[in-house]
Amino acid sequence: MSAVPAPRTVTRIAGPALPAISFAARLPAAICPTATLLMLTELNGIGTAAVAAGALWTGQAVGGPFLGRYADRRGHRPVILAASVANAVAIAAFVASALAAMPLAVEAALAAVVGLTVPQIGPLSRTRWVVLTEPAAGENTSGRAELTRRALSFDTAVDEVSFMAGPALGGVMVVLIHPVAGLVLAGVLIAVFGTLFALHPTAPRGTPAKDAAGARLLLPALLALFTMALLQGMILGSANAGTSALAAHLGDTGTAGFVWGAMAVTSSLAGLLMTMRPSSLELTLQLRLAVAAQALLLPALLGVGSFLGATAALAAIGCAVAPHLIVLFTLAERVAPMERMGEAMALLGSGLILGQGVAALAAGQWAQRSGHHSAFLLTCLCGAAALVVALACVRPRLVDRDPAARVRVPEPGEIAEEQREGA
């Protein structure tokens, strides 16, 4: 396996089209929050923009696990297809409400619907790779476990690139064409590529509810990983708010996006490196090392006062972000039941989104009153909290399980009562 470059090793499983389609289908989720802020700030003012963007984030965090659950039950194809169409329609209605200057309550409600209908391409793409790399009966599980880890590393790197490219693309559309152009692009992308992702031959079938009745989801191990995802989201949200506050203080708000992009670049590169050179260290140890490195790098933000300093600090921090997220989702694959894998991945994704939204709101308020350093202080506190949780709660005995021991979709009449019990 090592003789073949890792990205090719992964993509040859499903062909090169799947990563390309999933990348394009993820862009709308990255475009929408930024495009919403830019559109409504231009058309209706920053107050309306903040409320609508918050409603969109909340809707996405709440809707994610439910869509993941439906995808597990009914299969990826019908659920993602329906969500993609609904999301495109919701975006169109939201844009129309902004152009018509409808009341704030209407715009916020439509923004929430946009968030609720996001098809969860990222979490369900990870689920798809887990299914594709799951060992068959009698197959060597160690080789497949490494392949799964590489696939999740590669997919996380794709995620990082999409969340770097999405806001930048949406911002360029707004600046060069029209305030609504970013959201219009998002609607077109999700209608086209969301549909292609849904119809791709690798879409897993669903597991009937009666067959998944014994597959518990909210186990201590997964709750610990959700807490880690929530704190990572808070780190990102507060650091983003601090970067925006710093840019405003320096009198050039437009530069904030480029400065923030430094983290996405190094994080993407670190993710690709992990795909090509997977570590032999035990997974929970990798998680602790990544979180510890991040916690040690974050205090550098407290001393920045220029764009150059912030860019360097964020670029360094980005080297730890993707390794943390890659191991986080790999551990989720180890502890979550196959019958509810989409729901588990979406739950972690919702933790990231919820953390970003809550921290961005809090850090933004603090920065407005006390300057950008107060936002970065929250970033450091969240990093320290993540390290405490990683050391205290994420333990090998909870999450380091043999992939071969996972109960697959039961035969008719069987009950998966041994599914991860006691994890």
Q: In terms of Cα–Cα distance, which of 81, 77, 56 is closest to 170?
A: 56
Please, are residues 378 and 362 in contact by the beta-carbon 8 Å criterion? yes
Centre a 10 Å sphere on the Cβ of residue 98 and count the other Cβ atoms it contains.
Answer: 25
Q: Which two tokens stand for residue 15?
A: 């062909």
Quick one: CA dihedral 363, 366, 367, 372, positive or negative?
negative
Per-residue exposure over 146-184, b if at least 16 CB sit within 10 Å of its own CB, e if not? bbbbbbbbbbbbbbbbbbbbbbbbbbebbeeeebbbbbb
| Burial of 187: CB neighbours in 10 Å, binned 0-12, 13-18, 19+ | buried
The CATH number assigned to the domain with range 17-148+159-208 reads 1.20.1250.20
Q: What is the pLDDT of residues 192-225, one digit of tens each?
A: 999 999 998 888 886 665 554 555 667 788 888 9
| CATH 1.20.1250.20-classified regions of the chain | 17-148+159-208, 217-402
Q: What is the pLDDT of residues 2-58, one digit of tens each?
A: 444 456 666 677 677 888 898 999 999 888 887 887 787 777 765 667 778 778 888
The reported pLDDT for the residue numbered 408 is 38
CA distance 204 to 272: 25
| Cα 64 off chain centre by | 11
The reported pLDDT for the residue numbered 64 is 82
Give me the DSSP letters along 90-133. HHHHHHHHHHTT--HHHHHHHHHHHHHT---HHHHHHHHHHHHH
Q: Which two tokens stand for residue 164?
A: 């770097």
CA distance 234 to 324: 14
The reported pLDDT for the residue numbered 421 is 38
Beta-carbon contacts of residue 140 (< 8 Å; ≥ 6 apart): none
Please, are residues 147 and 9 in contact by the beta-carbon 8 Å criterion? yes
Please, are residues 9 and 278 in contact by the beta-carbon 8 Å criterion? no
Instruction: Name residue 184's amino acid.
Output: V
The reported pLDDT for the residue numbered 214 is 55
Q: Which two tokens stand for residue 228?
A: 């880690």
The reported pLDDT for the residue numbered 382 is 95
- Decide: pTM greater than 0.85: no
Beta-carbon contacts of residue 3 (< 8 Å; ≥ 6 apart): none
Give me the average pLDDT of each 10-residue run along the chain (423 residues): 53 77 90 80 70 82 85 87 95 92 89 91 84 61 68 78 77 80 92 93 72 62 90 89 82 73 83 75 87 95 90 92 87 79 84 84 80 90 94 68 40 34 37
The reported pLDDT for the residue numbered 406 is 45
Q: In terms of Cα–Cα distance, which of 208, 239, 180 is closest to 360?
A: 239
Percentage of the chain surpassing pLDDT 90?
A: 25
The reported pLDDT for the residue numbered 93 is 95
Q: Which CATH number fits domain 217-402: 1.20.1250.20, 3.90.950.20, 1.20.120.530, 3.30.300.30?
A: 1.20.1250.20
The reported pLDDT for the residue numbered 24 is 92
